Amino acid sequence: MNSFAKPMGQPVDRVDGMLKVTGQARYAGEFPEAGLLHGSVVSSSIARGRIVSIDASAALSLPGVVMVLEHLNRPRLASYDESYADDDAAKGSPFRPLFNERILYSGQPVALVVAESLELARHAGSLLVIEYQAEPHATDLLSAQFEGHPAPAEVPGPRGNFQAELAGAALQLDLHYSTPIEHHNPMEPHASTVLYQADGSLHIHDKTQGPQNCQRYVQKVFGLGREQVRIFAGYVGGAFGSGLRPQYQLPLAVMAALALKRSVRVSLTRQQMFTFGYRPRTLQRLQLGAAANGRLLALGHAAIGQTSRFEDFTEHVVEWSGMLYHCDNVQLDYQLVPLDVFTPLDMRAPGAALGLIGLECAMDELACALAIDPVQLRLINYSERNQNQDKAYSSKELRACYAQGAERFGWARRNPEPRSMREGRELIGWGMAGGVWEALQQKASAKAHLDHEGRLTVSSATTDIGTGTYTVMTQIAAQACGVALEDVVFVLGDSSLPAAPLQGGSFTVSSVGTAVQQACSALREKLLERAAAQAPAFQGATPAQVHFADGQMWYGEHGLALAKLLRDTEEQALEVQVDAEPDKKRDAYATATHSAVFVEVRVDEDLGVVKVSRVVSAIAAGRVVNPKMARSQILGGVVWGIGMALHEETQTDHNLGRHMNHSLAEYHIPVNADIGQIDVLFVEELDEIVNALGSKGVGEIGIVGVAAAVANAIYHATGKRVRDFPITLDKLL
């Protein structure tokens, strides 16, 4: 690609790719320091009760063991006795590691062993003798499902007369689905390296999706000033939501560093990655009433989710059922059941990934009951407005997703009769589902700095969790200032940079990208002021009359190199910072991404083994800044959706209240052999309202609807409807 060609919309390679594949990109647990101490977390073996005693004498007798922190000797923290929260906090009182003797869940950190090496710290941890007084616990949502209370979520109120319309409908369905607990399992486990500075301040490398969120958290908990805490997260090895809240290794590492006045690293083991937030288990009930022609007359969606006893975690599980299809009589309900578990946490497409399983499987069951093609049923009930908000969409190309996805997949050749398509001993099933995710934008800031060599540095305190933020922001800045990609550097992952929201919810490009674009626009205006003062040809030129390309400012036929402009004015650099926020014109509209997913499965008739052989995912997400990065996001989402349908399930021994398959050996996720052909297509969607970039984000939408499409394809192949996810061999046979 020509380095001066318009970079936005181009499949540019990752600008940080070389650093990653050569091992030069350092993650939170990889920063070296002379004299660095290592902390190992000791986890509770009971689900509820209290610690009677901790005998650390054997551990402390080992040469090289420096400290054993527990609730009786931890530093006094005033904020531990106050209410404090983080940006992604749930309602209630957040978990405080080593707060007191109470055990709230199995795997809770009860001690931190600090030693001169990680191996020694872990060995010393195994020597602790801990006496517990156990109490009866409850960890099974199924057993406690009737003990719930209304979730403090913004569930839309009822509309129309649901009960009457349901009772009078030509066809009524009452369906129950369940989804399991899932854990994030990013490739990089959570770690915090606290580098203790000579002046007592802390430089902390943390695995996080928001450096400034962690900075505020540490300040609040430890009573430190902003200048005393700086958080770095230059590279994050996947997070999927697990880094939205500060996890317990961060305050433990800070406790030890402040107590010892030394640098300390605390890394969690793979098993301990199962001892904090997760996607909660849900029980869902879908009630559909429809006319004989397929028109929805009544739609009810009730969900029961689990939460901890100390916080009410809520996500948007049922709202999607009130917006994806047109229905005038809707009743939504969401209940939470407190259990002796840790608080759940947002996980890729939180709420939608779960709620769309129920809705889209139910729509397939309705299509089968009415003998209407599943795509046609969705078109019959197509919604032009978001009825939850009673607003028109800023743009909605879901019809194009259905049409182009179906054509690419070959949906017209589908025989609707279950068990009608086969090759040899393999039953073939074709299923589909729709998807929706809200297109959000948050306040964000960015700084643009142009030096006298023509190099542009743009910065914001966001992160890159593998999504391609470094690259996409580089493209936005390069196009906005008309400079070559190789002359742009985007800096992120540092709490001292201009403010940015947490990276999540598919709003990073729309939020930070808008700030980057506006910072570059402000920089252009300053450059024009300099040019007008220096070059007669530019006097009287307005910003609208000037364009930037090839590293130059152009007014008609007159060009002026940006680097020369600064050198001639004897300025070493020009710098601007802007604060961007959503445009008010968004307020009148609903904004969302949409998708249509088509899936082919092959089921071995004798063994019940399911293979997803083909997927077509059609996405409407506004302007796609980098189709290569965006396609990778959708690929990852589809793979995860296949995992939700067939593999992923955190299994709990409710007698012990403890997760059993807490390792990547036993927690099943899809591998290469499980994945067939995945075809991603982006339908053209112009949106001038959602933000100046016209971009809606793609991180979440890729997973939405996939699990339902797989389940629907399995029904088409076998004639057996499995409503308890994941769909494993035992359920299918």
Residue 616 host element (H or E)? strand 610-620
Alpha-carbon gap, residue 29 to 264, rounded angstroms: 10
Alpha-carbon gap, residue 62 to 484, rounded angstroms: 58
User: In which residue are the tokens 């609208």 written?
Assistant: 544
Note whether 102 and 269 are within 8 A (CB).
no
One-character DSSP codes across 431-469: EEEEEEEE-----EEEEEEEETTS-EEEE-S---SSS-H
Active site residue 700: yes
Note whether 392 and 327 are within 8 A (CB).
no
Alpha-carbon gap, residue 457 to 475, rounded angstroms: 12
Alpha-carbon gap, residue 113 to 126, rounded angstroms: 10
Residue 577 host element (H or E)? strand 573-580
Write phi, then psi, for 139 (nearest 5 degrees). Answer: -130, 0
Coil, strand or helix at 578: strand
Query: Under the phi-then-psi rule, with left for phi > 0, alpha for psi from -120 to 50, and beta for the rest, what region is 697?
Result: left
- Around Cβ 266, how many Cβ atoms within 10 Å? 30
Alpha-carbon gap, residue 471 to 594, rounded angstroms: 24
Q: State both tokens at 76.
A: 């006094």
Note whether 423 and 614 are within 8 A (CB).
no
In the sheet with 49-55, reading across from the earlier edge strand, the strands are 102-103, 49-55, 129-134
Name the residue among 494, 495, 681 with its Cα closest to residue 596.
Answer: 681
Alpha-carbon gap, residue 94 to 216, rounded angstroms: 15
- Around Cβ 57, how many Cβ atoms within 10 Å? 10
Name the residue among 250, 264, 692, 209 with its Cα closest to residue 495.
Answer: 209
Catalytic residue among 70, 319, 365, 700: 700
Alpha-carbon gap, residue 31 to 267, rounded angstroms: 12
User: In which residue are the tokens 């990889």 written?
Assistant: 30
Classify each residue of 35-55 as buried b or exposed e, where b means 16 or more C-beta atoms within 10 Å of its C-beta.
Answer: ebbbbbbbbbebbbbebeebe
User: In which residue are the tokens 């008309």 written?
Assistant: 482
594: β partners: 436, 620
Q: How many CA atoms lie within 13 A of 333 on its CB side?
A: 15
Residue 71 vs residues 50, 97, 131: alpha-carbon distances, Å: 11, 8, 14
Length, in residues, of the chain: 733
> With 0-12 CB in 10 A as exposed, 13-18 as middle and 19+ as buried, what is 684?
exposed
Alpha helices in 572-728 (DSSP H): 627-646, 706-718
Residues 6+ apart with CB under 8 A from 625: 8, 9, 472, 475, 476, 509, 513, 693, 695
Alpha-carbon gap, residue 351 to 280, rounded angstroms: 9
Residues marked as catalytic: 700
